Structure 1
Amino acid sequence: MIFLRLLWQIPIALLLLTIVLVFANEYAIARSSRREKNIAYVSSDQPGFDAERHVLDVYTPKEPSAKLRPVVVFIHGGSWDSGNKNLYSFIGRRLAKQGFVAVLMNYRLAPGVQVPDMVDDCAQAVVWITKHSAEYGGDPNRIFLMGHSAGGGIAALLAVDNHYLANRGLAQSPIKGTVLDDPAGLDMYDYLQKMEYPNDEQYLIPFGKKPAVWRAMSALYHVNAGCQPMLIYVGERTYPSIIRSTRKFNQRLLELGIKHEFAVMPGKKHIEMVTQLFWQKNVIYQNLGKFVASQEQ
């Protein structure tokens, strides 16, 4: 009986030990950075201003630097109708731990707005970053985008189609490279025409019912020879539509000779593609550091 009780206690002890180690690790990483929260990136008197969604957080390393640091901007996912920067604070802290100035933003969501407005929100955030990143030790001339799921689709669109930034006053894009983590929506034009999966009609809320808009919001159709380098990661067990659209996107980049890397991560599902970023030594962080360094040479 005593032996059985001990066996029952072992899993609980391991669970408690794991929780303690996770919190200790998180505390240690958090101590190495500062977080300034809920900074408005658009003016409060702008039409459509949303005090909850038009805000961003900036994470900066506590360790001083003699020169301005690269800036990594993370755009969250959530099927274009959910998600919040606060869910991904662990990414901001880990990027700062690596020596980046990290920016995590909110943007407006469906059904309140549609995807063109979401992309415009993120473009306005990038404009804000170019104007203010130096105040946080970030280099406005070294801005890198990073996004997961729907946020990956938005990041890709900003990277390949500069008119969103140009419409907000940036004739020359400051984006030096982009990291796409299991990006969704790279080819919504094809996806919404086929309607192959259950509940696909839900995406007509953020994308509307006009095929011309579906195409305009699909980064695949805007790739051009002037695009900056990219890193693209796809989960081996992610959604079939993401596997298909990222392969098409990769092929288009190859055809135009765009410098990029495309990697399929064995065994990973869609959510695991972002939760893996909890681990400081994850391969995406490792490659991001090399990627940023390569653009500075």
Structure 2
Amino acid sequence: MRFPQMLFLRLLWQIPCTLLILITVLLLANEYAMARPSRRTKDIPYTTIDPSGTDAERHLLDVYAPRKLSSTAKRPVVMFIHGGNWNSGNKNIYTFIGRRLAKQGVVAVIINYQLSPNVQVPAMANDCAQAVLWTTQHIAEYGGDPDRIFVMGHSAGGGLAALLATDDQLFAKIGLAQNPVKGAILDDAAGLDMFDYLTKMEYSNDAQYLTAFGKNPAVWKAVSPMYYVKASSPPMLVYAGGRTYPSITNSTQRFHQRLQELNVKHEFRVLPGKKHIGMVTQLFWQHSIIYRDLLTFVGVK
């Protein structure tokens, strides 16, 4: 009986290994299928590097363009801003978003920006505005329409995207008379009202955010999109996970209410069962509800 038992155990051991190999092959095949219809241009500097020694990598972006266009018409542009608690994250993690957007007819721009503790959030917001400025000046070279630039972000990146859409002074400071952002897609955004959040300090370890936001309440308010929303703000898609952090649930709901009060065109969805990380990993799948809404929102034809 010993030999059959050993054989059975060996076969049982091989099942997970075989399954893992199969899953890996399927994922690689899926990624290859997604990559083929798009063209990635990597590591483009979007601003002059600060001579004081700013890390050059943090001022780079990637462009993902559809490889084959059905016409000469320029395509809508979505600039994605990564999350990471304002102190981590990299554009290279989010190639799947660029690939999927490009496959579906969008020119995608995925950016890096400076992080805490090297800088605080006002400098991060300025980096993002500089990336939008570069996009207005150069995206036509990649088939994108400079008059149809939308911003998108998850977590901390969602807060920065909301700030770009609502704070016109970010662009006035860098020489643009008008805010070029035509709309925002906010995916479980953090930092929508850091003035309220840091004033209350309701959660354990909240003091960690003073590194990125500083200790001046005036600065907390200056980088909170909640206080810039106005009737003329561009339209938005706003998403929150049904099982995300309570602070994000609360601030997103209040942001939605503010948009309603001012009659800003927007859609607000709570995605049942989704945790904070799941709100961005779902974007691995081309047919995610966020992509479905986004394509209509930005005017893909």
State the TM-score, normalized to the length of structure 2. 0.94
In the alignment, what sits opposite 1:29? 34
Q: CA deviation at 1:3?
A: 4.3
In the alignment, what sits opposite 2:56? 51
In the alignment, what sits opposite 1:182? 188
In the alignment, what sits opposite 2:25? 20
Q: Say how many residue pairs are matched.
A: 295
1:227 aligned onto 2:233: yes
Cα contact 1:239–1:270 (8 A) shared by 2: yes
In the alignment, what sits opposite 1:167? 173
Q: CA deviation at 1:288?
A: 0.4
- 1:71-111 per-position Cα deviation (integer Å, ceiling 9, x unaligned): 10000011111111011111111111111110001011111
Amino acid at match of 1:205: T
Match of 1:147, SS? Answer: strand
Cα contact 1:110–1:205 (8 A) shared by 2: yes
Cα contact 1:42–1:49 (8 A) shared by 2: no
List runs of 5+ in structure 1 lacking aligned partners: none
In the alignment, what sits opposite 1:269? 275
RMSD across aligned C-alpha pairs, in angstroms?
1.5
Amino acid at match of 1:54: H
Q: CA deviation at 1:146?
A: 0.4
Q: CA deviation at 1:14?
A: 2.2
CA distance in 2 between partners of 1:11 and 1:264 (Å): 35
Alignment of 1:16-165 (within 5 A): 16-44=21-49, 49-64=54-69, 65-165=71-171
CA distance in 2 between partners of 1:69 and 1:23 (Å): 28
Cα contact 1:36–1:59 (8 A) shared by 2: yes
1:200 aligned onto 2:206: yes
CA distance in 1 between partners of 2:188 and 2:37 (Å): 28
CA distance in 1 between partners of 2:232 and 2:177 (Å): 14
- 1:241-292 per-position Cα deviation (integer Å, ceiling 9, x unaligned): 0000000000000111111011111111111111111111111111100111
Of 282, 285, 291, the match for 2:288: 282
- 1:25-58 per-position Cα deviation (integer Å, ceiling 9, x unaligned): 0011111111111111112466665311111001
CA distance in 2 between partners of 1:96 and 1:103 (Å): 10
Cα contact 2:76–2:299 (8 A) shared by 1: no
Q: Which moved more, 1:218-227 or 1:57-66?
A: 57-66
Give the percent of matched residue pairs that are identical in Structure 1 and Structure 2. Answer: 66
Distance 1:45 1:204, change over 3 A: closer
